[in-house]
Amino acid sequence: MVTHGYQPVSSLSIFRSEHSKDAGVKANRIFTDKASGSSVDRPGLDLLRMKVEEGDAILVKKLDRLGRDTADMIQLIKEFDAQGVAVRFIDDGISTDGEMGKMVVTILSAVAQAERCRILERTNEGRQEARLKGIKFGRKRSVDRNTVLELHQKGTGATEIARQLSIARSTVYKIIAE
């Protein structure tokens, strides 16, 4: 079993202490990211994901340091669990290995699912309220439909209309068909 360390920002390394030496974390197995943990671009974490193997363990200072948000953290824990890699959170005293660890992952998964549902509900409520206020969604129409119809009624062909207005011929046909 190999023990790795991960910390999102390398300001004060928790893995330089005696605690990490006792846990078997060698300097070349400590992965850090320079940017904030909320950043999508995390090369240190990506490298760690490639390096770990079944039976390995990952030490992280706190539960909230692993992922950008709850859903991301749970997705990472599930990914490591599927590979047979344990994740241990030093300050929180939580580990994902063993039966108790599997229960923790299950509970965290339920929390993530509930969070996703709440986000979806709030998003849909916001959209509905915006529609009631007359806010339109999607891209603004860039083609003047009346111009297309006028040119068509004058006998101009679809190809010529498309060329004059710098639009696709299929767009001309769609407008005419409406």
18 plus 105 within the same structural domain: yes
pTM of the full structure = 0.56
Give the CATH number for residue 153. 1.10.10.60
Give SS3 for 47: helix
Give the CATH number for residue 50. 3.40.50.1390
Q: Could you read off the pLDDT of 87-128 as tens digits, one per residue?
A: 988 887 888 888 887 787 778 778 877 888 898 999 999 999
Domain range spanning residue 41? 3-111
65 plus 152 within the same structural domain: no
49: Cβ contacts below 8 Å, ≥ 6 apart: 79
Q: Could you read off the pLDDT of 159-177 as tens digits, one per residue?
A: 999 999 989 999 999 999 9
Look at residue 41 and tell me if it is in a domain: yes
Residue 178 has pLDDT above 90, yes or no: no
Look at residue 130 and tell me if it is in a domain: no
2 versus 156: the higher-pLDDT residue is 156
How many domains would you assign to the chain? 2
Do the Cβ atoms of 178 and 154 come closer than 8 Å?
no
Alpha-carbon distance of 42 to 34, in angstroms, equals 8
Residue 16 has pLDDT above 80, yes or no: no
Look at residue 66 and tell me if it is in a domain: yes
72 plus 155 within the same structural domain: no
55 plus 103 within the same structural domain: yes
